[in-house]
Chain A
Amino acid sequence: MMHLLYSIFVDPFVQMGAAPDLLAQTLWEGLVSGILYSLIALGFVLIFKASGVFNFAQGIMVVFSALTLVGLNEHGVPAYLALAITLVVMLGLAFAVERVILRPLVNQPEIILFMATFGLTYFLIGVGELIFGGDPKVMISDQLRLPSGSYRIPMAGGYVQMQKIDIAATVIASLMVAALAILFNRTRIGRALRAVADSHRAALSVGISLEQIWVIVWFAAGVVALATGIMWGARSNVSFALQIIALKALPVLILGGFTSIPGAIIGGIIIGVGEKMGEFYWGPLFGSGIESWLAYVIALVFLLFRPQGLFGERIIERL
């Protein structure tokens, strides 16, 4: 018993102190995967804010956009042109979703819209397999001039290894978040977006077009999906299995709150770092595989204390 307590509460911290380079390495890896989780969660938050829909299809949008990019390149389209065309495809998808799914289902209960995004998911899987085949593909990192290789930073007798692609992912994700934050807080489109999120009726009465706002957020979510797809694809490869990462966004959203952009970022980083730390220092205690469920446990514990999430809007209801 004493031994178990020791190995839970003391030993991991002794290890951290003894090998700061390993600690730094773990933290860095956690940060990087956390930022990728944040990107996925961000896609969810955008759509949830503007239309109150939990978009189950966000995961497949990541795969679909990445496949489109790689597929186009395989057919001889130069990488950057393929990137531009993929953006146009995502814009087309946003228009199609608005026209075919959202407009006819407006004012229906949220669960119906949620189910509709399930339909969208399987539709995109079907179309994706039909066009690009079901085999995993390799992300065209070189053609996109994404950096490869790594830096070694010496530290306390050992070293921390940082993949250049991870650094690039961090920078790109940060830029994207900054751009979205500015869009939301400083422009008339941002104000309109927040208005739509708050009340459809009131937004309509001041002349905001719901259709236009929906296309904008779905396109923004599509761009975020593409960025996620490129970054994630560059670390492993692009396959339909990747859509499972959408489920990883769930604990991030619970942690960060469904409506908060900073929440998605911080939540993602907490989950990413928590997972890596847990696996490295506490994993051996439970055998392996702690990474697959730890995130949900963190989120669950969190939920007990702050049901609205870290930055979620506190629900104040006048009765």
Chain B
Amino acid sequence: MSAQPQLAEGAGEIGAPERALGGTILVVEEVSLAFGGVTALSDVSFDVREHEVRAIIGPNGAGKSSMLNVMNGFYQPQKGVIRFRGREFHGMKPYEAARMGIGRTFQNIALFRGMTVLDNVMTGRSLKMHRNFFLQALRLGPAMHEEIEHRRAVEEIIDFLEIQHIRRTPVGRLPYGLQKRVELARALAMEPTLLLLDEPMAGMNLEEKQDMCRFVLEVNDHFGTTIVLIEHDMGVVMDISDRVVVLDYGRKIADGTPDEVRGDRAVIDAYLGVAH
């Protein structure tokens, strides 16, 4: 993974989205996280507003993924609070986060490799299916109706992400770029309010990156989903995000619009190193 900054030009030609941002939906307040003696995050605070695309950037090992993992309950911070839609969490369980409407993808893809694309995306509906499982087992009345309804929603997402042609393929056989897309589809199937994307474009070629950028923006635009993403490609980040948080060695060193961050002395130092 390259941490080389491309502070000027990037992959996408898509202009920054322009739409009204809503109120604050998520607040990270003085979160600290350590593994044994190693500090991953110290006193990080920032907020996420409704409908925005919020990027987290920083050099390797800055604590970006750790931050995302705290935000959906995979890691429990030693200190600090996450406030999501008015509820306060000192440490939530991952499935609670999912229940609250936080979906996510992973840096190194986590899919159900033995299942088909369709089944993978259907798992994203787990929380939305409520019918008695005896009825499901027998495919009776309301349960059958429910299954069809969810199937329709899933097919829409599959169409939206342009993966119709592989819907019956076991995920383990797909190339990397498509696996990333399936993972996004599964997260979208949850109809999340907040979507956390951990390096959605890592390891992709230019064309795949542009596709992914388009999908991210369309999701944001179409469904009004709030998106927090980690990305290494500065061009992409500057193009698609509304606001950017910069982490370095587990601390927040800058926070603002792409333009503000781009000119920030601390950010340039963090990326290029400081001459002492």
Task: Write the residues of chain A forming the contact surface with B, with a CB cutoff of 8 angstroms.
Answer: 182-183, 186-189, 191-192, 194-195, 198-199, 201-209, 313, 316, 318
**Which residues from 96 to 147 on chain B have a C-beta closer than 8 Å to any C-beta of chain A?**
97-99, 103-106, 110-115, 119, 122-124, 126-127, 129, 133, 136-137, 139
* Assembly CA distance A198 to B127 (angstroms): 18
B187 within 8 A of A: yes
Say yes or no: is B209 at the interface (Cβ < 8 Å to chain A): no
Q: Which B residue sits closest to A209, measured CB to CB?
A: B95
Q: Known pairs A198-B113, A207-B126; list 19 more (Cβ under 8 Å).
A: A183-B133, A187-B136, A188-B133, A188-B136, A191-B122, A194-B114, A194-B119, A195-B126, A198-B112, A199-B113, A201-B74, A202-B106, A204-B74, A205-B94, A205-B103, A205-B106, A206-B127, A207-B190, A316-B173
CA distance A204 to B96 in the complex (A): 9
- Asked if A208 contacts B137 (CB within 8 A), the reply is no
B115 and A207 form a contact (CB under 8 A): no
Contact among B112, B172, B190 for A202, CB-based, below 8 A: B112
Question: Which residue of chain B lies nearest to A191 when distances are taken between CB atoms in the complex?
Answer: B123
Chain B residues proximal to chain A, CB less than 8 Å: 72, 74, 93-95, 97-99, 103-106, 110-115, 119, 122-124, 126-127, 129, 133, 136-137, 139, 172-173, 186-187, 189-190
Report whether B123 and A204 are in contact in the complex, using a CB–CB cutoff of 8 Å.
no
CA–CA, A23 and B46, complex, Å: 77
A199 touches B112 (CB 8 A): yes
Docked-complex contact A188 and B126, CB < 8 angstroms: yes
* Interface residues of A, dominant DSSP: helix
Residues from chain A with a CB closer than 8 A to the CB of B127 are 206-207
Chain A residues whose C-beta falls within 8 Å of the C-beta of B126 in the assembled complex: 188, 191-192, 195, 206-208
A207 touches B172 (CB 8 A): no
Residue of B nearest to A200 (CB): B110
Whether the pair A191, B139 counts as a contact (CB closer than 8 A) is no
The contact sample of 13 A-B pairs, CB cut-off 8 A, is A188-B126, A189-B133, A191-B119, A194-B119, A198-B113, A202-B112, A204-B74, A204-B95, A205-B72, A207-B95, A207-B98, A207-B190, A318-B172
In the complex, residue of chain A having the shortest beta-carbon distance to the beta carbon of B104? A205
Report yes or no: B95 in contact with A208, Cβ–Cβ below 8 A. Answer: yes
Q: Which residue of A lies closest to B74 (CB)?
A: A204
A269 to B137, CA, bound (A): 27
Q: Which residue of B lies closest to A198 (CB)?
A: B112
A187 near B106: Cβ-Cβ < 8 Å: no
Top-3 shortest CB links A-B? A207-B98, A198-B112, A204-B94
- From the candidates A195, A208, A316, name the one contacting B115 in the complex (CB within 8 A): A195
CB distance from B125 to the nearest CB of A (A): 8
Asked whether, in the complex, the Cβ of B137 is within 8 Å of the Cβ of A206, the reply is: no
- A207 touching B99 in the complex, CB below 8 Å, given contacts A188-B129, A195-B112: yes
**CA–CA, A187 to B74, complex, Å?**
27
- Output the least CB separation between B136 and chain A (Å): 4
Q: How far is the CB of A255 from chain B (nearest CB, A)?
A: 20
Q: Can you name the residue of chain A whose Cβ is closest to the Cβ of B176? A: A318
Rounded to whole angstroms, the CA-CA distance of A313 and B113 in the bound complex is 11
